[in-house]
Amino acid sequence: MKTLLELARIATKSKLRRVEVLSIEAENNKKLMKLYDALCTGKVETDEEAQRYLYGVKRKPSTFRNLKSGLKKRLLNSLLFIHLSDPSLNEQEKAYYQCQKDWAVVKVLLRRGGRPLAIKLAEKTLREARRFDLTEIVVQASQVLRFHYGARTGDMKKMKAYGQLHKRYLEAWRHESLAEEYYALLVADYIKERSVKAGASRLAMEYYERLKGAMAEFPTYRLLFLGHLIRIIAFRSVNDYQMTVEACEEAIRAFEAKDYEVKTPIYTFLHQQILAHIQLRQFEEGNCTARKAAKLIPGGSVNWFINMEMLMILSLHTRRYQQAAEVYLEAISHPRFSKLRAIDKEQWRINGAYIHFLLETGKASLEADNGRLRKFRLARFLNEVPVFSRDKQGMNVAILIIQTLFLIVKKRYSDAINRIDAIDKYRTRYLVRDKALKRSNLFVKMLLQIPLSNFHKAAVLRRAEPYYEQLRAIPLEVANQTHGIEVIPYEDLWEFALESLDLKFHKRRKR
């Protein structure tokens, strides 16, 4: 069912019904169209739901399997009929789809004996592919044309010209493939863990040095994109944010120099810049960069959600808490939120916990949300972030901190006291050794002073003062800490925690 849901998203109903050769048979199968409509409108998401919707209480597993298979086949076929007049497609994207379609036609014509027409279309496709850096198609088209003019017509001049072109782009394609391999090796470790990795930085810089010469000789779209990403990983892996900003600017200039419009790479590098600006506390620059990025992406896309997250974090770090809460609510209320990857939803849930903390402490208000915001329950939240809960030196720090803060501000003092030993054991095991997590280590120490001081405000201030001064001596912009961990600066969180305390001792009750 996941496959059908994804295909239904890509092949919209209007596109499917405009293709007569597909729609005639589909319209004759009312159940097939009913299933398609249900997928598009979100009425069904699982096999069980779909069978009940189509057949009621009577289960028809074999009939349903055949129906799904037929719909899958038609949706896959519909992808060949992409409407290039779609305003959301830029020039390069339109060229990509057109060249892919044309090259498929060339291969069919050659197979079916339509060589003269195939060669004319191959030459046209080759020109477009070269202009828009579609290296793989250039490699294949130049190979076909080299063979044609050599073995079929004896035109040595054209054969040599296409042969030279083939060799050049084959080399470019080889470096693109190498860059893809390097990038995949680097990124694989980051999918489920976001802690700092110095070894990854050294490896990424080594990979970049191997690719740098080829990037200058073959400045293709794919090679430039991956090569610059690898360089940025080298700086991001050790949280060198100033060099990240500079590397992103260089990458953006490389793509702005193209003679066609480029969106995805420029957006990607703007996003990396926003992350760096947050850590450097360059908030005006970050807001400006976020506005530039927003112009490049459609609402509801994966990149739209990423940009919304960056806007929220920027707002949190500039104490614009009301704005942060509104951005959060807008994002999670979008119909496409449910389609995000599980790990991306986890990140939003962690951010959302901090938004709920602000609502709990009165720093923001969403009273007119028309029921769009679920009531926050700490136990449910902890169950909804299983992946990052295992990332002990990464995002689990943010989970632990917000959990402790909620116990304090909700005055669940017994629970907070009972958690002291477990939290301190976690701190000594995972936070003490890593210099990049020093701010987190100090802040957890500060939080531990609250239950240890029996929640007496004056006592807490006295006991936490040494750790607070050490925290202030390591400002966020020089802390070398992974960006996602400190959703709200610790200095601000400490202020909110203190506000919830009074001048009374709250000792643990004896059992």
Instruction: State yes or no: pLDDT of 12 exceeds 60.
Output: no
Instruction: State yes or no: pLDDT of 25 exceeds 60.
Output: no
Please report, rounded to a whole number, the percentage of residues in the chain having pLDDT higher than 90. Answer: 49
CA distance 396 to 181: 29
Assess contact for 230 and 244: CB atoms under 8 A: no
Q: What Å distances lie between residue 256 and 252, 290, 302, CA to CA?
A: 6, 18, 23
The closest of 75, 74, 49, 51 to 63, measured between CA atoms, is: 51
Assess contact for 402 and 409: CB atoms under 8 A: no
What is the pLDDT confidence band of residue 13, given thresholds at 50, 70 and 90?
A: very low
CA distance 267 to 507: 53
The closest of 456, 452, 448, 447 to 505, measured between CA atoms, is: 456
Instruction: State yes or no: pLDDT of 434 exceeds 70.
Output: yes
Tell me the per-residue pLDDT of 42-73, one tens digit each, with 9 for 90 and over.
788 888 888 888 888 777 788 888 888 888 88
Q: Which two tokens stand for residue 182?
A: 């390097």
Q: Which two tokens stand for residue 177?
A: 């493939």
Our CA angle for 257, 263, 265, nearest 5°, is 75
Instruction: State yes or no: pLDDT of 196 exceeds 90.
Output: no
Residue 366 or residue 473, greater confidence: 473
pLDDT at residue 175 in the model: 98
Mean per-residue pLDDT of the chain = 86
Task: Please return the burial class of 129, using the count of CB atoms within 10 Å of its CB with bins 0-12, 13-18 and 19+.
Answer: buried
Residue 139 or residue 393, greater confidence: 139
3-class DSSP state of 456: strand
Instruction: State yes or no: pLDDT of 327 exceeds 70.
Output: yes
| Highest mean pLDDT (candidates 69-83, 121-135, 317-331, 383-397) | 121-135
CA distance 30 to 71: 11
Task: Assign 3-state DSSP to the chain and report helix, strand, coil percentages, each to 5.
Answer: 75, 0, 25
pLDDT at residue 117 in the model: 94
Domain ranges of the chain: 2-81, 91-174, 297-365, 406-511
Residue 508 or residue 162, greater confidence: 162
Instruction: State yes or no: pLDDT of 77 exceeds 90.
Output: no
What is the pLDDT confidence band of residue 289, given thresholds at 50, 70 and 90?
A: very high
Instruction: State yes or no: pLDDT of 88 exceeds 80.
Output: no
CA distance 493 to 405: 8
pLDDT at residue 510 in the model: 43
pLDDT at residue 232 in the model: 96
| Highest mean pLDDT (candidates 168-172, 194-198, 425-429, 500-504) | 168-172
What is the pLDDT confidence band of residue 244, given thresholds at 50, 70 and 90?
A: very high
- Mean pLDDT of all residues in 117-132: 97
Please, what's the largest Cα pairwise distance for the chain? 98
Q: How far is CA 245 from the centre of its chain?
A: 19
CA distance 451 to 59: 57
